[in-house]
Amino acid sequence: MSSLNPFHLAVPVNNLEKARAFYTNTLNFKEGRSDTHWVDYDFFGHQFVIHEDKNHQPNPDAFSLVDGHEVPVPHFGVVLEWEAFHEFADRLKQNKIEFVIKPYIRFEGKPGEQATMFFKDPSGNALEFKSFKDTSQIFAK
């Protein structure tokens, strides 16, 4: 897999202070610049920004059926190295994250086998983190 440039992602949150506490303290992301209505983070080497929109309300019933699970859509996240995924999952469990889909192995024994987990931030934004033992399988059919 080739080296990738960092991406930039900005998402709305309906309560900046709750979201800031979640991303800073619960997920332990390093905070970067901020202002009264936004905060940026080091999101595993990518630039992630939360912007306050007090009217933001994701659709809690939007999902896609994948591997027998109701996967929330939209969602975002990062593909982590195998060990980093499991360390992150353990830290989330210690921080008592309420998972939408608990960490498990998806597509076991098939092309694209991966570890995955889903949870939501305090504003209802869905996050997925995943890992492939074999990163050449990321786009496997």
Tokens of 24: 């800073």
SS3 at position 12: strand
Tokens of 108: 């076991």
Query: Looking at residue 58, what is its pLDDT?
Result: 92
Cα dist from 8 to 31, 108, 130, whole Å: 14, 31, 19
- For the segment 33-47, what is each residue's pLDDT rounded down to a tens digit? 999 999 999 999 999
Task: Name the burial class of residue 136, with classes exposed (0-12), middle (13-18) and buried (19+) by CB atoms within 10 angstroms of its CB.
Answer: exposed
Query: Looking at residue 110, what is its pLDDT?
Result: 87
Query: Looking at residue 2, what is its pLDDT?
Result: 58
Domain coordinates in residue numbering, the chain: 8-54+63-137
Q: Cβ atoms within 10 A of the Cβ of 94, count?
A: 8
CATH hierarchy code of domain 8-54+63-137: 3.10.180.10
Cα–Cα distance, 119 to 103 (Å, whole number) = 10
Query: Looking at residue 23, what is its pLDDT?
Result: 98
- For the segment 112-134, what is each residue's pLDDT rounded down to a tens digit? 899 999 999 999 999 999 999 89
Least confident stretch, 28-37, 86-95, 105-114, 125-134:
105-114
